[in-house]
A and B are shown apart, each in its own frame.
Chain A
Amino acid sequence: MGIDFDFGAVLGQWPLLLRGVLWTLGLTAIATVIGMVVGVACAWSRASGPTWLRWVVGSYVELIRNTPFIVQLFFIFFGLPAAGFKLSPEVASVIAMVMNLGAYATEIIRAGIEATPRGQIEAAVSLALNKVQVFLRVVLPPAMKKVWPAMVSQIIIVMLGSAVCSQISTEELSYAANLIQSRNFRAFEAFIIATVIYLALSVGARRLLNWAGPKYFFGR
């Protein structure tokens, strides 16, 4: 089969693509920030919280990690309105992404916390630091440092996973590519361009996070 490429037909719709890129980045940024806070809180709960809290957090983590993202998203967008919670596609997407990243981040960060030597904690306690100080200043920074590469990968996975949010009409990059191809039937070109943009976004985001992590979260 002969293929005539016409990238102009797709690139001519750049305002749509740009909007898509901004939505993808925006959703990912919000999901990353809130998801990491959730992850740290849940990791602490699972590592040293009271038993009932460990149980609750454990259920949350297992529930999210053992179900597909698209099912979680559909549950929030199509399921919750039946219970009276009506959410816009964008809010539903953010909630799904936060919950998803939160659960995976919990396990990643917990691995880092459990790898902290006991002696280090005992030393901190003997210096009269309280429980919160020990966690935030002694346990968390080296834990984050150890697991940062895994954390960055998970964030990238969530960013790429946001493509699924186009299914509930969130206007991110895949939605833009799909809309363009449904209008001018240039499916091959539209998805080649979307692929290249996703690749660039992933490489860029990875570099940014690899630079920002050591600078802001855990010293050198």
Chain B
Amino acid sequence: MKPSKRSFALALAALALFATGLAQAQSTLDNVMKAKRIKIAVPTDYPPYGSVDKTMTPQGLDVEMAQLIAGKLGVKVELVPVTSANRIPYLQTRKADLVISTLGKNAEREKVIDFSSAYAPFFQAVYAGKNLNIKGFADMGGKTVAVTRGAMEDQELAKVAPASLEYKRFEDNNATIAAFVAGQTQTLATSAAVAGDMMQKNPQLGAEYKLLLKDSPCFIGIAKGEDPLKAKVNEIIANAKKDGTLDAMAKKWLGRPAGDLPV
């Protein structure tokens, strides 16, 4: 029997599938070492973890961490700017090899990506004007709050705040802050670092710290199934912790030592 066109096409398709399977079997770590460059997703809207300076060069704790990891691997770093909402999809679609973007660890996220050891401290809180009486989460009923979509604050707030709290969700931290500063919402749920920056630049708002949402240190996000890369990153973090690099970075950017970080 002559092989028909159809079976030929099928064979080709099978071959293509097999080929992609092979390509996938090669780990990200191998690819990074071969290409001599690593793509690391960092925030550019989250000072002091990640922002851009006057010459549009990324800077901040997360950026420095990315440079540290690339340096220890002996490869060039390619910084990929991401927002809270799109950083995990960037990792899932392999637009980035690592995500170093104030990423907190929770059960939902552990289903889709892996985490390294923690590298920096971080906590989120609720902020509002001094004249607004908020003593506990129950007082937030009927108020409006600005949060960044996909950020930890969004998920954590849903667990503790009353259902009558009205959420205004924005695409990135800059928009969230802008909405609060413009008076579009009464309260703001965000990280201490971002809020500190906002209050410093807008003293006329009279905003203050109200409630602690969650103490959630930052982890590095790694795609599922990349164990060699994860082991390497953890080794770099452990060494940096031992020789005081992590403490020095936390002091430089956050004004306090790294403290006790979970492994």
Contacts and interface: CB of A to CB of B under 8 A. Distances in A.
Please indicate whether A and B come from the same complex rather than being unrelated chains. Answer: yes
A125 B241 CA distance: 89
Nearest to A92: B184
Interface in A179-205: 179, 181-185, 187
A31 B23 CA distance: 50
Contacts of A184: 108
B184 A167 contact: no
A2 interface: yes
Residue among B94, B154, B171 having the largest count of chain A Cβ atoms under 10 Å: B171
B24 A2 contact: yes
B182 A78 contact: yes
Contacts of A82: 182
Chain B, interface size: which category? Answer: 20 to 34
A49 interface: no
A89 B168 CA distance: 9
A149 interface: no
B89 to A, nearest CB: 4
A138 to B, nearest CB: 47
Question: Could you tell me the dominant secondary structure of chain A's interface residues?
Answer: helix
Interface string B212-230: 0000000000000000000
Contacts of A179: 149, 169
Interface residues of A, number: 21
Contacts of A19: none
Nearest to B90: A187
A184 to B, nearest CB: 7
Contacts of B89: 181, 185, 187
B179 A178 contact: no
Nearest to A82: B182
B93 interface: yes
Interface of B: 20, 24, 85, 88-89, 92-94, 108-109, 111-112, 149-150, 154-155, 167-171, 175, 178-179, 182-184
Interface pairs A-B: 10 shortest CB-CB: A182-B150, A81-B182, A169-B168, A187-B89, A185-B112, A182-B149, A78-B178, A169-B169, A182-B85, A185-B88
